[in-house]
A and B are shown apart, each in its own frame.
Chain A
């Protein structure tokens, strides 16, 4: 079974910074079990995580984790195409914002929808469900659906 899984910032933030969060164990289980699939992270999510790492630790550690993430097997960054025109980019983003999505989430959705992603895994499901053209699952739901 092939599956392209996009991972939201909160999932990785819990794994690396919020180890006391009650979802930590299940988050780590998801990361372990999803290793056999191609995982991706949008550049926007990665930079968001980098920002949290800088605040929680320091620039050196944030850089190390950023580089480590890129070296993980079955993991890569995705972006959308560079806009041919800013007008076209604004129009495309508005199409997503019209789904009642906030601008920052719209950037993530725009990137994901440009890359044929199958599943978006997030702990913030309510902000994405029915607003993105792929399956939205929490790590817990992903584990139930694909490992049990």
Chain B
């Protein structure tokens, strides 16, 4: 059996009653088993998030690790301007950003 460490945690009474109910109903053999399963599920949920999902949520919380001295003007795109405008023009029928935004926001 893998080594386990005793962790003491205070649980709100209401929550504990629900945990006990799961045991009485036979889903788990002990309260500890419920808590371990809940932690396992929680960890799985975080592990399944991809980079974009994690960074978006961390950014909303203001907790994304920042690149030092990295600013908006330092972001580069490795595609030449002619290709970008050709792609945009083919899709929107215009290269005018104001018209494109109007169209995206369905103002037209």
Q: Could you list which residues of chain A lie within 8 angstroms of chain B, going by C-beta atoms?
A: 9-10, 12-21, 28, 31-32, 35, 39, 43, 48, 51-53, 55-58, 61, 63, 65-73, 75-79, 102-105, 123-124, 127
Contact = CB atoms under 8 A, between A and B. Distances in A.
Would you list the 7 A-B pairs with minimal beta carbon distance, nearest first?
A104-B105, A31-B72, A56-B84, A77-B59, A70-B59, A71-B67, A57-B79
Interface residues of B, number: 40
Contacts, number: 123
Nearest to B92: A55
A54 to B, nearest CB: 9
B91 interface: yes
B30 to A, nearest CB: 34
Contacts of B52: 63, 66-67
A13 B104 CA distance: 13
Contact of A55 (B69, B70, B88): B88
Given A17-B88, A70-B55, A124-B98, A51 B72 contact: no
